[in-house]
Amino acid sequence: MSRYSDVETTTYESVADDGTRRLVRHYRRRFPPDPADHTTLAEHLVVPGDRLDLISFRYTGDPLGFWRVCDANAALDPDALVDDEAVGTEIVVPVPGVTG
């Protein structure tokens, strides 16, 4: 499941300087859920070389669910969770699809 699967889409009309019109369809803004609303599956100690897709796969079997780890840790920049400065910190791995 994508992080945008429940986000509505909308359309706006763009008008160029020459009067040409085109419809642009896009997702509405997605507001990340409150990290406190996640149910914790595991806490992972970040080590050098960690990648979010591999962490997600290790605990949930879904490498594409890395965005859930980002949401559970209020991370807007996924790489910040596993970069050199994050080594030695713990990150929360949530249970997929379970909140509160």
Q: What CATH number does the domain containing 84 carry?
A: 3.10.350
Number of structural domains the chain divides into:
1
Range of the structural domain that residue 89 is part of:
36-99
53 is a domain residue: yes
76 is a domain residue: yes
pLDDT at 7: 74
pTM of the model: 0.71
- The neighbouring-strand residues paired with 38 are 99
The pLDDT tens digits along the chain (100 residues) read 666 667 788 899 999 999 999 999 988 877 777 888 889 999 999 999 999 999 999 999 999 999 999 999 999 899 999 999 999 999 999 998 765 5
Spatial distance between the Cα atoms of 97 and 1, rounded to a whole number of angstroms:
10
83 is a domain residue: yes
CA separation, residue 61 to residues 21, 27, 94 (Å):
45, 28, 12
pLDDT at 82: 95
